[in-house]
Amino acid sequence: MITLVRRITAVCALSAALAACGGTEASRAGLTAPSTSASASASPSAPARHSPSRPPTLTPGPGGLTPVFSNGPRTKGKTVALTFDADMTADEGPRAAAGEHFDNPGLIATLRALKAPATVFMTGRWAEQYPDQARSIGSDPLFELANHSYSHYAFTANCYGLPTVPADRMRSDVEGAYEAFRKAGVPHAMPYFRFPGGCYDQRSLRALSALGVTAVQWDVVSGDAFATDADAVVRQVLGGVKPGSVVVMHCTRSAAPTTERVVRAVVPELRKRGYRLVKVSDLIGATTDRA
């Protein structure tokens, strides 16, 4: 009975966290200016341009806090970034061993078949469970791989039932994900970070400020988490997209089973409407480049 209760609790926590992606962002606290240690040294009047060796990043936020990016420019063309969270918490190994699929190779294959660029925010634990897939995604120029923490534990209290990372371990949790990517053979991971559940506050932004990452949120919630009606998710995405939008979806088959079907419908329709699919780095580059 105790084991069953623990399993139900874990499933509910993951469900809430996935459903929270793109939910109310009251924790944003009005902070929208972003940074990295590399960009901090750049002159605000001459921001760094996008290059493969130096991904675009934003200038430091107020008080030097980790910057937060939610969408690109609305007036620089019809671009949209599809992002996918590859979620797996630090303690879900037994569920994976029992056959639960936290991966979604069919989704990645569909994105490749459609030649649809995407940014994948991956937890370190996911990379450890699926190192070949992590390496394949991180090596494919169609995609860019970014950090979703090692543990997928929350960086604030009261974040949809997720366990919480202590403040003094927040930095090491992010670093642990990058180390997991390195061990999986990922040749390059972007300096972008997505908070589990989308939850953050000034303390967590301050804790990560020395890492030189830009926190990436979203402005379009797909609603794919635990969805069974792919058509409803498609309508939600298409109804919310604007020029410069960042769409949040999931690369976790057991928790988001309709996502591949959603992508098969959304990508052609977005292109039909004149949108160009880009990676998050392209949107951030458009934001930092002067018009």
Tokens describing residue 223: 């609603």
Residue 282: its pLDDT value, please?
A: 97
Residue 60: its pLDDT value, please?
A: 78
Residues 6+ apart with CB under 8 A from 195: 149, 154, 155, 204, 215, 217
**pTM for the complete prediction?**
0.85
Tell me how far apart the alpha carbons of residues 251 and 148 are, in angstroms, rounded to a whole number: 12
Tell me how far apart the alpha carbons of residues 13 and 5 are, in angstroms, rounded to a whole number: 12
Antiparallel, parallel or unpaired: β 68-69 and 214-216: parallel
Residue 61: its pLDDT value, please?
A: 80
Are residues 193 and 174 in contact, defined by beta-carbon separation less than 8 angstroms?
A: yes
Residue 19: its pLDDT value, please?
A: 46
Helix (H, G, I), strand (E, B) or coil at 134: helix
Tell me how far apart the alpha carbons of residues 77 and 73 are, in angstroms, rounded to a whole number: 8
Residues 6+ apart with CB under 8 A from 169: none
CATH numbers and ranges of domains, the chain: 2-23+31-41+54-288 (3.20.20.370)
pLDDT tens, residue order, the chain (291 aa): 434 334 434 444 444 455 445 443 333 332 222 333 333 322 222 223 334 458 998 987 888 999 999 999 999 999 999 999 999 999 999 999 999 999 999 999 999 999 999 999 999 999 999 999 999 999 999 999 999 999 999 999 999 999 999 999 999 999 999 999 999 999 999 999 999 999 999 999 999 999 999 999 999 999 999 999 999 999 999 999 999 999 999 999 999 999 999 999 999 999 999 999 999 999 999 998 744
Tokens describing residue 154: 């929350």
